[in-house]
Structure formats: structure tokens, C-alpha cells
DNA sequence: CATATATGTGTAATTCATACACTTAGTGTG
DNA sequence: CACACTAAGTGTATGAATTACACATATATG
């Protein structure tokens, strides 16, 4: 007969943002703990325990909003992380003691990756987030818990899904140029594409629709704008 | 401040088996409950609550062994299922009351799909499994909880991963013929391949190695046997 | 020894992927 | 107002990959 279970379940969101200067990740900084000098506030992914009456997707949306005020983000579940010691590291002890009723409780977390266009989404800290930042992927220091690992696997999931599913458009503004689309593919898949061949392929995609509209305010030939129609 | 959490976490295994007669799924039948005439024993995927000191993958392996005595099965996590009402259906009530300390507790489950060659793995019921069966995919009746849904998504995950990863070999015996490999692809991806073209492609795969060995006991030209080497 | 059965093999035609360079539309400057 | 600057936008030829397709072969059985 199994021992009765007692564990926590959380969601963590790895929100990627794109803006022609490469891929960024949304991180939050934990608040300081009054009267605890031992606590060095850590940086972490937005994540928290799920509530008793909400689904997982719903929890991911709520937690992301609670901490960063972001709404309407494309969020996709990619992996569950359940190492029994994933929140047992010494560096995380003080913080957990300050925010949890049961700081020593095992926590299993469901990872979601999120995709946004940086120009359309502007996070603001809330709840236990002291501040919010877009960090350059590749210049990420030590994060709380096992969040470096979660982040790596999220990016891996993004890369894999970008080759088979139509998710790249979630990282672009509603109206985008083909150069933007190409740069995005180049930075995520880490390889260069030929401009003419790339455009040949895009023109075969029925869900990328050319608009009767051009870029404005650029100091060169303005590019045609396109939009994405997920249906067909 | 969030209400304190109280929920259960389980793993469910969707083990697919293959044997030239199509894809099968491993199901278990719940034991009858003595002195409960209302309980109609249901069929379900092998799954159970995780223990407090084990990782998720480890839990999937243990639970599968506890219920079916299978060991060494290729198991891959594919999705977490957390609908708050996923174990609240009336049909599952009597059973949960008989096996759980807290039968009304919410249960989130982590889904794993498994792949085996039917000729190499022979399950035997144990623990709360009254019996074990290989059911034809496509002839599956109503299962307990949301297991029909979990099964559908597992097969979808299998199909997607088979196109990008080298997992098909997990469904075949260690030594297999190219016709077996081709049939497997045809049944999973639901399309026909040309024999010569298929073999041309396989010969380019460095991880499929031809053996100096032939089929025996067949009433026709015996096929050459191949094996899979995951490293290179 | 003849028959039945699934194995095993090559080539031509077509489609797809790659490599590559100049003209164009707009903005800013002298 | 012409010239310079910048990124956008476009076609073709070559090689690579994919497709379509039919008959001879090895073994077991009667």
C-alpha cells in the first residue's frame, strides 16, 4: 500500500520574445524578504502553484498574468519536471520559507513555453515579482530551482516545433516583413537561409498572406507587409 | 494568498505493441470490489499515483511493472493531463472509493507512451490489475477516467515523433526485416510506401545495420535481418 | 520437380533544393 | 533637386532528391 501522497504542483512559463535583436526570455526577480539577510533574491521563470479549481493551461495563463500582467500569450505545454529534489537546493531555501506554507514540500512543475512579439507585449511586475526583465537567451545567469534546465528544454521544444508547426508567427507582430520572418528562422534554427529561396518557399505557404500595405518610416525601400492566417 | 493545495499526482502509461498485425495497446482490467455490486469493473491504462521519493520517469517504470510485470520498456513522457474533473465521472466513483484514501481528490496525471515488440514482451497482471490485454488500436471501448483521450494523444505523439526521431525500432524485435519496418511505418503513418524507394532510404540510414543472418522457417525467399544501432 | 510466396533489385522522369547578382523604392544629405 | 545610401525584391541554371515502375530469386510445400 503506497504511503499517502503529499506534494505540490506548479506551472512555469518560459516566455520567448522576439524583436529583430534576437530571442529574449522573460524572467522575474524575487522580492527581498524583510528581516532575512541571508536571502539573496534570485531570478526565476514566472511560475507558481496551481489552484485547486483550475486546469493546467488556465493555471499557466493566470500565473503569467499574476506575475507579469501579460494576457493573451500563446502558451504551450512542453514537459513536466518532477525530480524529487528539484526545489531542495540551498540557494532556494530562504525564499521558499518566505512564500510557502510547506517550504520543504516536493514540487512537480508543468512547463509551458510562451511566444510573443516584444513590440506587442509589455510586462509589468506584480505579486511576488519585484521586477521583470527580458533577458538575452545565451546570457542567462543562475536561476532559481532547476529553471536553467527548464529554460533549455523549452528552447529545444521551440526549435523542434518550429520546424513542424506554424508557431513562428506568434513571435512576430501581426504585420511583418519577409525579412523579419527569415531572421527569426535564422536565429532560432541557428543557420542562414538564401533570401530568394526563402521567399520562394514562403510564397507556397497559403497561410502567409500578403497585405496591400508597406513598411513606413524606414530609410530605404519599404518592405511589403504580410500577415498570418492560421485557418488554411 | 492561494488556498493550500491538496491534489494527487499519477502517471499513466500508453504502451503500444506491434507484431505485423497492427498496433495494439496495453490495457488492464480493474479487479472487482467485494461487496460492491454497483461497481462495473472498468478497463484502463496502466497508471497509478507516484511515490514521494521517486522521479516521474522512475514512477512510470515502476507503475508499469507493478501492474503488468513489464520491465525495460522504452517509455517517453508526452503530456500532462490536469482537468480538475478528469476523475470525477460517476463511472469511476466506486473504483476510486475502493483504492484511494481520498477518492474525491483531484488527480493530475503525467502521460508516458511506451513502445514494445509484442513478441519480446509478455505482460502478466499484478497489483490491482485483474487481467491484462493487448487491445487493437481502433477497437477500444470506453475506458476509465479520461483514458480514451490520453490514448488518442499518445498515438498522435507517437506519429509525430516517428517522423523526426528514431523510435520505430522500439516496436520491432532486435532483429527485423525491412518489410517489417516498412509495414510498421505504413500502419502508424497510415500511408503506403514503394518497396524499392523505402529500401533505398533505409540503406542511407547508418543506424540500421544489415546482419549476416536470414529469416528461417518461412515458406518463401527468406529476408535478410537487420538490427538497430542507436549510436551513430 | 513444379508451385506458391514474399524478397530483392535499377533506371528514367520529375520535382525540389541550391547557388548566385543586379535593379528598385524610398530616405537623408549637400 | 540630384546623388548617395540602404534594404527590398526578383529569375535562372545546376545538381540533388523523390517518384514511378516490373521482373528474377530463394526457400518451403506437395
Strand C contact nucleotides, protein CB < 7 Å: 4-11, 17-21, 24-28
Q: What is the pLDDT of residue A184?
A: 98
CA angle A223, A229, A232 (to 5 degrees): 130
pLDDT score of A1 more than 80: no
How far apart, in whole angstroms, are the C-alpha atoms of residue A51 and residue A58?
A: 10
B48 CB within 8 Å of a chain A CB: yes
Q: What is the pLDDT of residue A122?
A: 98
Q: What is the pLDDT of residue B35?
A: 86
Whose CA is closest to B10, among B145, B159, B125, B155? B145
**Quick check: B52 and A7 CB within 8 A?**
yes
What is the least distance, in Å, from the CA of A158 to any CA of chain B? Answer: 14
Q: Domains plus CATH for chain A? A: 7-164 (3.90.79.10), 173-228 (1.10.10.10)
Distances (CA, A) of B187 to B96, B116, B137, B174, B191: 36, 15, 11, 19, 7
How far apart, in whole angstroms, are the C-alpha atoms of residue B57 and residue B38?
A: 35
Asked if B84 and B19 count as a contact pair (C-beta separation under 8 A), the reply is no
Cell numbers found for residue B212: 549476416
**B interface test, pick of A10, A12, A80 with most B CB neighbours within 10 Å:** A80
- CB-based contacts of A151, cutoff 8 Å, min separation 6: A14, A25, A45, A140, A143
Asked if B177 and B224 count as a contact pair (C-beta separation under 8 A), the reply is yes
Cell numbers found for residue B110: 503525467
pLDDT score of A124 more than 90: yes
How far apart, in whole angstroms, are the C-alpha atoms of residue B1 and residue A66?
A: 12
Contact between the CB of A192 and strand C at under 7 Å = no
Nearest to A84 among B7, B54, B82 (CB): B54
Q: What is the pLDDT of residues A178-226, one digit of tens each?
A: 999 999 999 999 999 999 999 999 999 999 999 999 999 999 999 999 9
Asked if B28 and B132 count as a contact pair (C-beta separation under 8 A), the reply is yes
* Sign of the CA dihedral running B179, B184, B185, B187: positive
- Torsion of Cα atoms, B154 then A9 then A5 then A1, to 10°: 10
Residue A217's region, left for phi above 0, alpha for psi from -120 to 50, else beta, is left
> With pLDDT > 70 as the criterion, what percentage of chain B qualifies?
99
Q: Which long-range contacts (CB under 8 A, 24 or more apart) does A137-141 make?
A: A137/A16, A137/A22, A137/A23, A137/A24, A137/A25, A140/A25, A140/A27, A141/A43
The DSSP bridge pattern shows strands B7-18 and B106-117 to be parallel
Protein-to-nucleotide distance from the CA of A228 to the C1' of D7, whole angstroms: 23
Using an 8 Å CB-CB cutoff, list chain A residues near B77.
Answer: 79-80
Bridge partner residues of A38 (DSSP): none
Asked if A62 and B13 count as a contact pair (C-beta separation under 8 A), the reply is no
Asked if B67 and B46 count as a contact pair (C-beta separation under 8 A), the reply is yes
Whose CA is closest to A18, among A111, A123, A161, A121? A121
Q: What is the pLDDT of residue A3?
A: 58
What is the least distance, in Å, from the CA of B131 to any CA of chain A? Answer: 19
More confident residue, A25 or A21: A25
3-state secondary structure of B128: coil
Please name the residue of chain B whose CA is at the shortest distance from the CA of residue A165: B160
Average pLDDT of chain A is 96
Distances (CA, A) of A184 to A190, A191, A227, B3, B28: 9, 10, 15, 41, 47
Q: What is the pLDDT of residue B197?
A: 98
Using an 8 Å CB-CB cutoff, list chain B residues near A110.
Answer: 80, 82
Cell numbers found for residue B106: 483531484
B156 CB within 8 Å of a chain A CB: no
* Residues 35-64/B with CB < 7 A to strand C: none
Protein-to-nucleotide distance from the CA of B195 to the C1' of C12, whole angstroms: 18
- CB-based contacts of A100, cutoff 8 Å, min separation 6: A8
E strand residue ranges, B118-188:
129-136
Q: What is the pLDDT of residue B3?
A: 58
Using an 8 Å CB-CB cutoff, list chain B residues near A51.
Answer: 2-3, 5
Q: Which nucleotide is nearest to A218 (CA to C1')?
A: C27
Cell numbers found for residue B161: 515523433
Using an 8 Å CB-CB cutoff, list chain B residues near A8.
Answer: 5
Asked if B149 and B81 count as a contact pair (C-beta separation under 8 A), the reply is yes
Bridge partner residues of A15 (DSSP): A114
**Which residues does chain B have with pLDDT short of 50?**
none
- CB-based contacts of B161, cutoff 8 Å, min separation 6: B76, B167
Amino acid at each position: 500500500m503506497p504511503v499517502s501522497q503529499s506534494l505540490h504542483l506548479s506551472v512555469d512559463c518560459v516566455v520567448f520574445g522576439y524583436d529583430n535583436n534576437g530571442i529574449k526570455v522573460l524572467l522575474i526577480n524575487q522580492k527581498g524578504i524583510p528581516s532575512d539577510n541571508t536571502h539573496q533574491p534570485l531570478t526565476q521563470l514566472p511560475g507558481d502553484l496551481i489552484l485547486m479549481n483550475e486546469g493546467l493551461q488556465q493555471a499557466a495563463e493566470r500565473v503569467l498574468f499574476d506575475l507579469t500582467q501579460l494576457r493573451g500569450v500563446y502558451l504551450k505545454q512542453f514537459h513536466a519536471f518532477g525530480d524529487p529534489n528539484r526545489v531542495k537546493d540551498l540557494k532556494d531555501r530562504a525564499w521558499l520559507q518566505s512564500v510557502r506554507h510547506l517550504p520543504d514540500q516536493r514540487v512537480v512543475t508543468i512547463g509551458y513555453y510562451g511566444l510573443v512579439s516584444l513590440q506587442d507585449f509589455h510586462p509589468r511586475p506584480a505579486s511576488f515579482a519585484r521586477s521583470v526583465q527580458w533577458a538575452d537567451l545565451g546570457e542567462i545567469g543562475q536561476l532559481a530551482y532547476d529553471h536553467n534546465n527548464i529554460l533549455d528544454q523549452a528552447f529545444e521544444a521551440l526549435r523542434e516545433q518550429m520546424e513542424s508547426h506554424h508557431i513562428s508567427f506568434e513571435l512576430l507582430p501581426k504585420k511583418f516583413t519577409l525579412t523579419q520572418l527569415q531572421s527569426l528562422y535564422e536565429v532560432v534554427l541557428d543557420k542562414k537561409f538564401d533570401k530568394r529561396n526563402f521567399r520562394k518557399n514562403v510564397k507556397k505557404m497559403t497561410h502567409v498572406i500578403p497585405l496591400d500595405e508597406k513598411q513606413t518610416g524606414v530609410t530605404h525601400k519599404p518592405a511589403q507587409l504580410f500577415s498570418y492566417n492560421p485557418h488554411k
